[in-house]
Structure 1
Amino acid sequence: MTGDLDAAGAELRRQLGAYPGNPQPVVELIATVVQGSPGSDGLYRTRADDSTVQQYLDEARRLQGMLLLNIQPGHAEFLEEVRAYEHWLTQPDIGIALDPEWAVDPGVKPGQAYGHIDGSKLDAISSYLSELVARHSLPTKMLAYHQVAASVVRSEDDLRPHSGVYPVKIVDGIGSRDLKLDTWNVVMRTKPAHVAAGFKLFYDEDTRGGSVLMRPDEVMALTPAPSYVVYE
């Protein structure tokens, strides 16, 4: 969802029509964006301003869907970045997505190596969202976390169930169908039973070299079947 949001929303509706049933549209905004330079605070990230978040929320509502605020923290702490959007998270239709490959260790420049997140940090974020839901009498909030390689999410069993939070693990493997299935099979081995499955497709990266984008029926034939499918 970049550039002309009306056009992007129309494309999202078209893509939704390729799936059975009545899937709910979801808009992801990279709200905390990783940077190649440290910035004044040395954290290698910037945050979206309120006007940008409002534009994306307006589009999500126009589509009768929800908005996920995606976090690429650089050297910042995930929970601190999530808390920075608390005034938005009190809205009933806004959740969180995490990009742990961009949560790099001290001394590592983003892009030099994959970052990572531990299950205990996922659990702290889930607990925080659960508290928000209870305090403000909100509907269940989605907590998605993207995973491109096995090393990106560690000690995943430390993520426990929390009331009012719907956790989803999204496999971000890139490439041909066979390469994506290989990544899926590796990454899904550690998914806790209470966490739903998600799958990401890339219009450009997945079709380089003549590869064909996976069809919706192929995506939904995965085991476990994804409850959330992302297109980029």
Structure 2
Amino acid sequence: MKKRSFLVSSMTVILLLAACSDSNTREAEDEKNNTEETQQNETKDTSKKKDEDEKKSSQPYKALQPSEDAKPLKQKLSEKELKNMPESQTEGVDNSKRSVPVGQMLVKGADDQTDGPLKNNRLVAFYGHPNSENMGILGEMEPEAMMEKLKKQTQAYSDADPERPAIPTIELITTVAQRDPGPNGKFYRMTPEEDIEKYAKLAEKNNALLLLDIQLGTDSVMNQVKLIEKWLKLPYVHLAIDTEFRVEEGEVPGEDLGQVDGKEVQEAVEYLSEIVGKNDLPDKFVLVHQFTDGVLTNKDAVQPTDNVEVALNFDGWGASRDKQTLYRKFVRDDTSQYGGFKIFYNKDEPVLKPMDVVKLDPGPAIVNYQ
């Protein structure tokens, strides 16, 4: 009887152990499956986030690569180069050294938290309006011919400073200041939508950027930004503000010199920043034109965000030595992030060569031609 009881007990223990073993095996398999499923989900989430980040940060342009024989800029100027530049550019009026090394585009002490076009590239832009020869090269040439010339000019900058390949850019005036009030009573005329669309498609076709310029009249910066908002939502379109054409009631653009408060510009910068964030767009930039002291006040208010760069563009024309000196005054000592420099093919004496332009202090991130 005891023997039979012992056998029964032994069988019970064996069955219990087998059951526990099966249970442990199932639990281990379940845990393994759960772990694999979790890892797969994490991989999918990581991959999805990576794809989204890449999609957002991917800029829709192709910089023109430098020629094989292009040589990097030297960080110090030669004696001959120093001699050919104004003293205020080579040494400064109250500073015995350059503010930044030759070629650096960020002003001293600035940084760039974006993945915008200006971070590692220079922009070369043709400025104007398709229906006016007097307003720039866009009105002097047919679109395709203009684009070919723009690419050649852009290539010259890629070769002059190969560490910062240049991007062809079309700067299209989208609200044109007028000397009569016009139907809206605000002294500006909107460029026809079909013209804006034509140049938007031209830029996209050529892997270029489109910079939409507003001239304001008596209108506000934000009102005009909203007029062109649907194009600003395109990944390759950016904003430029012509400060001199913003006049007060009772004044006339072109007769009276206008003025924009930096606080208004900053409102546009932050609005564009919201557009970028809400629409998962690549980072953008705002270009602010200035050619004399009074046209832009409260410059300190104009600051970049984490997805919008800012550049202050010196617009003056005339003697190139004077322009280089004024670039220092208006850009090097006054902008918060990047500088721009405008060149007039028919008014500058002489027309600076790309190699001269990239050696300005700081190097212009945007060079526009009119």
Q: Report deviation, 1:186.
A: 2.1
Which residue pairs with 1:49 in the alignment? 192
Q: Report deviation, 1:165.
A: 0.6
Which residue pairs with 1:219 in the alignment? 357
Give distance in 1, aligned partners of 2:226 and 2:177.
Answer: 17
Q: RMSD across aligned C-alpha pairs, in angstroms?
A: 1.3
Give distance in 2, aligned partners of 1:63 and 1:228.
Answer: 18
Which residue pairs with 1:73 in the alignment? 216
Which residue pairs with 1:103 in the alignment? 246
Give distance in 2, aligned partners of 1:84 and 1:28.
Answer: 17
Residue type of the alignment partner of 2:340 = G
Give distance in 1, aligned partners of 2:188 and 2:346.
Answer: 25
* Higher RCO (CA 8 Å, separation ≥ 6 residues): 2
Which residue pairs with 1:172 in the alignment? 315
Residue type of the alignment partner of 1:186 = K
Which residue pairs with 1:82 in the alignment? 225
Give distance in 2, aligned partners of 1:189 and 1:96.
Answer: 21
Q: Report deviation, 1:169.
A: 0.8
The SS at the match of 1:143 is: strand
Q: Report deviation, 1:160.
A: 2.6
Give distance in 1, aligned partners of 2:353 and 2:319.
Answer: 12
Give distance in 2, aligned partners of 1:224 and 1:113.
Answer: 31
Q: Report deviation, 1:181.
A: 1.6
Deviation string 1:165-211 (CA, Å, 9 cap, x unpaired) is: 11111101110111212321221255333x211100000111xxxx2
Unmatched runs of 5 consecutive residues or more in structure 1: none
Which residue pairs with 1:200 in the alignment? 342
Give distance in 1, aligned partners of 2:271 and 2:195.
Answer: 24
Larger radius of gyration: 2
Deviation string 1:88-109 (CA, Å, 9 cap, x unpaired) is: 1111010111100000122111
Is the CA contact (8 Å cut-off) linking 2:311 and 2:335 kept in structure 1? Answer: no
Give distance in 1, aligned partners of 2:344 and 2:335.
Answer: 25
- Tell me whether 1:228 sits opposite 2:366 in the alignment: yes
Among 137, 145, 169, the alignment partner of 1:26 is 169
Among 165, 182, 187, the alignment partner of 2:325 is 182
Higher strand share: 1
Normalising by structure 2, what TM-score?
Answer: 0.60
Q: Report deviation, 1:137.
A: 0.5
Deviation string 1:140-169 (CA, Å, 9 cap, x unpaired) is: 112101111111111111123322111111
Normalising by structure 1, what TM-score?
Answer: 0.94
Which residue pairs with 1:59 in the alignment? 202
Give distance in 2, aligned partners of 1:189 and 1:54.
Answer: 35
Residue type of the alignment partner of 2:190 = R
Give distance in 1, aligned partners of 2:332 and 2:284.
Answer: 24
Unmatched runs of 5 consecutive residues or more in structure 2: 1-137
Is the CA contact (8 Å cut-off) linking 2:332 and 2:362 kept in structure 1? Answer: no
Which residue pairs with 1:4 in the alignment? 142
Give distance in 1, aligned partners of 2:192 and 2:258.
Answer: 25
Among 273, 279, 300, the alignment partner of 1:136 is 279
Q: Report deviation, 1:50.
A: 2.0
Which residue pairs with 1:94 in the alignment? 237
Give distance in 1, aligned partners of 2:277 and 2:204.
Answer: 23
Give distance in 2, aligned partners of 1:50 and 1:190.
Answer: 38
Aligned length: 227
Give distance in 1, aligned partners of 2:184 and 2:192.
Answer: 17
Q: Percent identity?
A: 31
Deviation string 1:83-127 (CA, Å, 9 cap, x unpaired) is: 111111111010111100000122111112221111101110001
Among 162, 175, 189, the alignment partner of 2:305 is 162
The SS at the match of 1:182 is: helix
Q: Report deviation, 1:60.
A: 1.1
Q: Report deviation, 1:65.
A: 1.0
Higher helix share: 2
Give distance in 1, aligned partners of 2:335 and 2:145.
Answer: 37
Deviation string 1:53-75 (CA, Å, 9 cap, x unpaired) is: 11011111222111011000111
